[in-house]
Structure 1
């Protein structure tokens, strides 16, 4: 949802529908958090060689291909007249945020993007308040303020003597667009099969981005590692993760599933430290604690 896409409630039953062993849900949330946290590692590996346009084009196309069978099965529910609306939502909710995170991955440690991604929940509440008149309450307003202060703190961080401010701005902008996209999905895609809808939004975004991807296709040979990271990003972290995510929402509800928000930054930072040797600075830890704490308060208030 990278991203992605926490609290995607549209068109999915919010109530649990099955009984499962007590250990199953925590394990599945850990797996999903690890997969989405790994997306920032994959971007960090692939973005320097592919560049953001080619990388995101491949991510969108591979994710759409994984979800294509769901669209085929539900094709009768998607007349052509609604495709432009879905394409526009895909640009806001997938293409541009993916590009921003990929651009940030070229310039800052993977943990930076993963921490910014946690802001999606806060931005979704802010957009719902500003654009759609939903109540926000004092506690959630304070949570939003704390989260934004955390972003400012993160923007002041330096890694190996270099400022990560531009990458933080890009990551926060991507999270804001995810927040806009979640509100659009909730209001304009309710009742549509979510996996099939995702196939259309990803596929249309891939088609729209294709000219830019061709124009910016890497001139040099791309390494096997970058190709592997790109395939993992598209197939595992986008296509398969969406299926897994929607299945969790259907089984345990959107509220419990959204707790994966707390796991993504942790796994993103852990994988980057383990596999890339990227440091986690005290400033990054402080900003991450402020942002995740504000998300916890916001969800409790809701």
Structure 2
């Protein structure tokens, strides 16, 4: 006869369910923040060169995160070893991919860029399976990765693939950024002993230290005349899609793991479609609705906790 769960077990189950609900809400928030970043980048690069845009993005985000940590009494980590790790994370998660995407979005259509950049869960699974082996890759997670990617293609539509190869260098830049994002999610596990704001701030500080001098040399920003819409996009990109988003990101890497966290790459697309329906009066074809169902099923499969067999008396 199976043992009845104790009061502690029931409490732990309820706490776990509550934590899982918070993780899903944060994953949705992160997907929204990063989904909106493509629009902000497109508006920003209209009058601000890519290197300067990303340099300002990281510098503003770093300043905001440091101020927030100071207000909360969170200490910035010290020591060469942890800052070397911040430098690696900065290269993988901001300096290289931010700059590549900002440059590529000057020529690559949004639909094709979405497909190319939504492959990070696939790359994260391969990296976890073949290289780090720190997270068990189950059949359920593989199902989620494949189903979610199929859903992306259905939502965006195969017509955007007609431009594949026309701006080959820019498209390869987006693929390279996608690889960087997947590597960042895997490497981000090394910061599980730190508050989520610490690696977010540390990586932004390193990113600004690299990009601001590059901007001064390459673009001479004092000679630029950015429009108000580009400046507003830069501010939104820095505050919401970077400072706030990265705190959420590092928290989710710790709780959902790299593969689960990269599921936000799939969620960005239906969120963007939803924004278009609400604010632009757009509609979806039947195939796109099927794609939304695939994305939801894929994300659920990638993020649901594994079931544990209940322990019976006498075992």
TM-score (norm 2): 0.68
Give me the whole-angstrom Cα distance separating, in 1, the residues matched to 2:81 and 2:113. 36
Q: Which has the larger radius of gyration?
A: 2
CA contact (8 A) 1:146 1:290 kept: yes
Give me the whole-angstrom Cα distance separating, in 2, the residues matched to 1:280 and 1:112. 17
Q: What is the Cα deviation at residue 181 of structure 1?
A: 1.2
Give me the whole-angstrom Cα distance separating, in 1, the residues matched to 2:296 and 2:118. 7
- The aligned counterpart of 1:200 is 202
1:177 lines up with 2:180 in the alignment: yes
Give me the whole-angstrom Cα distance separating, in 1, the residues matched to 2:283 and 2:49. 23
Give me the whole-angstrom Cα distance separating, in 1, the residues matched to 2:118 and 2:305. 17
Give me the whole-angstrom Cα distance separating, in 1, the residues matched to 2:253 and 2:187. 18
- The aligned counterpart of 2:218 is 216
CA contact (8 A) 2:48 2:224 kept: no
Structure 2: unaligned runs, 5 residues or longer? 1-13, 307-315
Q: What is the Cα deviation at residue 237 of structure 1?
A: 0.9
- With over 3 angstroms needed to count, the CA separation of the structure-2 counterparts of 1:104 and 1:155, relative to structure 1, is farther
Q: What is the Cα deviation at residue 259 of structure 1?
A: 5.8
Q: What is the Cα deviation at residue 231 of structure 1?
A: 1.0
CA contact (8 A) 2:182 2:262 kept: no
Equivalent pairs, count: 281
- With over 3 angstroms needed to count, the CA separation of the structure-2 counterparts of 1:210 and 1:272, relative to structure 1, is farther
1:132 lines up with 2:132 in the alignment: yes
Match of 2:60 among 40, 59, 62: 62
Structure 1: unaligned runs, 5 residues or longer? 1-14
Judge which range, 290-299 or 91-100, deviates more.
290-299
Judge which range, 26-35 or 51-60, deviates more.
26-35
1:233 lines up with 2:240 in the alignment: no
CA contact (8 A) 1:46 1:230 kept: yes
CA RMSD of aligned residues (A): 4.4
Q: What is the Cα deviation at residue 146 of structure 1?
A: 7.2
Give me the whole-angstrom Cα distance separating, in 2, the residues matched to 1:277 and 1:104. 28
Larger RCO: 1 or 2 (CA < 8 Å, sep 6+): 1
CA contact (8 A) 2:108 2:170 kept: yes
